[in-house]
A = this chain, B = another copy of it.
Amino acid sequence: MTAATGMTLQDIYAPIKDDLQRVEDLLEKELSAHSGKIKDLVDHVTSFSGKRMRPALTLLAAKCFDRVETAHIYASTVVELIHSATLVHDDILDEAQIRRGVPTISSIWGTEISVLLGDYLFSRAFAVIAEFDGSQCLPYFTRTTDKMCEGELIQLKSRYDLNLTEEMYLKIAELKTASLCALSTQLGALLSGADKETVASFYTFGLNLGLAFQITDDCLDITGEEDVVGKSLGTDLGQGKLTLPAIRLLQRLDGDERDEIKKVMQNGLSGESRPRFHELIREHGMVESSLETARALVDEGWQRLESIPDSDAKQGLRALGDYILSRDL
């Protein structure tokens, strides 16, 4: 089975086009339900709608079993609401000014509104679970939101910890990022009535895609910085968050070079120290090495779906993996 490289998101989403529209409609309905006085805030959230990757994961997984049920539409909507809530809160943490070309909530309305709006989106997510017969799914959602918060908290507490191992890095990435992607594909299969083993395979596929997503994000934080001078990338390392290329560089170096880079990273990467850091990253091929790991994860995830009959939807999942690996790099 060959990878469907070079496909646009529109191509990839073709088998679930109508279903994604139902998710959009439900999102709009759920967010306008109570908004009244806070309509401008909620409208702003919908304006940075993003790639809808997580709903697409659920719907494509569902479509692998032929039918997309109403429960899938609801589950996809919940997953996207949880994702939106974390974005609004992440923008506070990162002091981000821009998200997808649109000013962030926190940059317009400040921290207070952002805290509450994120809470509201989180609350709406659980409200949507309550609307469909979500009692079967509720523990899946809460296990995931627990993990996401834990991952973010552990990451925050691990900032400037230069002893952070690759294993620990992967654990954090699994908790904070990959767990929601894993949930997305898992629910697609679960709500289609797939057997336990198949549900687990879809879980792993989503998990590996999510890990790959985090790793490519890490790499963009470095290569984006290099090429697009003046753009507000490079925030991870600036805030002492160790990325995979940085962890590997620290492992690779020894002697004076190691001490030098340790010192740079202990102070948080800045305009002054960046060129030297990038020079070493390039010299040791740390971005390439990280992207290889990301590709291996996507491939390993794909293998887990071997026994699933081929379909446009299944090829769509593969293509989404390729899309993640090649995005903006």
**A312 lies within 8 A of chain B by Cβ:** no
Which A residues, 106 to 148, have Cβ-Cβ distances below 8 Å to chain B?
A: 111-113, 115-120, 122-124, 126-127, 129-131, 133-135, 138-139, 141-143, 145-146, 148
Does A23 sit within 8 A of B, measured CB to CB? no
Q: Is A102 an interface residue (CB 8 A)?
A: no
Measured CA separation A260–B315 after assembly (Å)? 70
Closest chain B CB from A315 CB (angstroms):
35
Number of interface residues, chain A, beta carbon within 8 A: 42
Beta-carbon contact of A113 and B34 below 8 Å:
no
How many copies of this chain sit in the oligomeric assembly? Answer: 2
Q: Give the chain B neighbours of A113 by CB distance below 8 A.
A: 153, 156-157
Q: Which residues of B contact A120 (CB under 8 A)?
A: 146, 149-150, 153
Min CB distance A143 to B, Å, is 7
Residues of chain B with a CB closer than 8 A to A154's CB: 37-38
The A interface, classified by DSSP as helix, strand, loop or mixed, is helix
Tell me if A226 counts as interface (CB < 8 A to partner B): no
Specify which chain B residues have a CB less than 8 angstroms from the CB of A131 in the assembled complex: 139
Other-chain residue from B34, B92, B117, B138 in contact with A130 (beta carbon distance below 8 A): B138
Asked if A93 is at the interface (CB within 8 A of a chain B CB), the reply is: yes
Among the listed B115, B116, B130, B135, which residue makes an inter-chain contact with A142, where contact means beta carbons less than 8 Å apart?
Answer: B130
Q: Is the CB of B93 within 8 A of A153?
A: no
In the complex, what distance in Å separates the CA atom of A142 from the CA atom of B121?
11
Instruction: Pick 19 A–B contacts, CB within 8 A, sort by A.
Output: A34-B150, A38-B150, A38-B157, A41-B153, A92-B111, A112-B156, A115-B118, A116-B149, A116-B156, A117-B153, A119-B122, A119-B145, A119-B152, A120-B146, A123-B142, A123-B145, A123-B146, A124-B142, A126-B126
Closest 4 CB pairs of A and B: A135-B135, A120-B149, A127-B142, A123-B145
Interface residues of A (CB under 8 A from B): 34, 37-38, 41, 89, 92-93, 111-113, 115-120, 122-124, 126-127, 129-131, 133-135, 138-139, 141-143, 145-146, 148-150, 152-154, 156-157
